[in-house]
């Protein structure tokens, strides 16, 4: 006997025509192998459609709620760490690229002489900078100087406040805002 079309029909009974269903039923009466496949398939379908219900352990909801806050805090800390490591890694990478480019374009002897020259001229440059500040400080009217100080202090306080609020929000909500 040929079993292949009947075996396929057992697994795909919804698409059969009435004549094919009748032919399948007649075949199942005479073929124990296909009858065995059909009973096994019906048992599998019944298991798939009615999964066993397993009740939750006692106090499951309470333990889940208690651990939810802890898991959320842990995930937020992890997000902040990822963001900080990413920023740090980007800074280190950019610094390395800058240093490599510097060594690639400027000979080491010139770099060394420039560093030595900068160190030896630093006190002279510091006194020149002090003189420039003293000179321009004496040229600026006192009222304008006070206004400039208040303006800079106000902007500094505003920016510091915004930075602290952003840092607080990131520490409470996480980087991705969850």
Averaged over successive runs of 10 residues, the pLDDT of the chain (178 residues) comes to: 73 81 83 86 80 76 81 90 94 94 86 91 94 87 89 97 89 65
15 and 90 part of one domain: no
Q: For residue 153, what pLDDT is reported?
A: 97
81 and 39 part of one domain: no
127 and 97 part of one domain: yes
Q: For residue 175, what pLDDT is reported?
A: 60
Q: For residue 1, what pLDDT is reported?
A: 47
91 and 121 part of one domain: yes
Residue 14 is part of which domain span? 4-49
How many Cα atoms within 13 Å fall on the side-chain side of residue 109? 0
Q: For residue 176, what pLDDT is reported?
A: 61
92 and 146 part of one domain: yes
CA-to-CA separations, 15 to 6, 10, 20, 84, 174, in angstroms, rounded? 13, 10, 10, 58, 52
130 and 166 part of one domain: yes
Q: Give the list of residues 6+ apart from residue 137 with CB closer than 8 angstroms, or none.
A: 145
């Amino acid at each position: 006997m040929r079993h292949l079309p009947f075996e396929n029909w057992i697994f795909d009974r919804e698409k059969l025509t009435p004549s094919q269903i009748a032919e399948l039923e007649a075949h199942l009466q005479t073929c124990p192998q296909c009858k065995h496949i059909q009973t096994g398939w019906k048992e599998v379908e019944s298991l798939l459609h009615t999964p066993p219900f397993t009740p939750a352990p006692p106090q499951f909801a309470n333990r889940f709620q208690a651990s939810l806050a802890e898991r959320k805090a842990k995930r937020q800390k992890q997000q902040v760490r990822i963001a900080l490591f990413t920023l740090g890694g980007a800074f280190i990478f950019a610094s390395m690229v800058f240093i490599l480019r510097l060594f690639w374009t400027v000979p080491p002897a010139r770099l060394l002489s420039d560093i030595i020259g900068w160190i030896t001229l630093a006190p002279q440059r510091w006194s020149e900078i002090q003189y420039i500040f003293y000179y321009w400080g004496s040229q600026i009217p006192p009222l304008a100087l006070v206004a400039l100080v208040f303006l800079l202090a106000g902007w500094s306080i505003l920016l510091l406040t915004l930075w602290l609020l952003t840092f607080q929000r990131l520490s409470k909500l996480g980087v991705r805002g969850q």
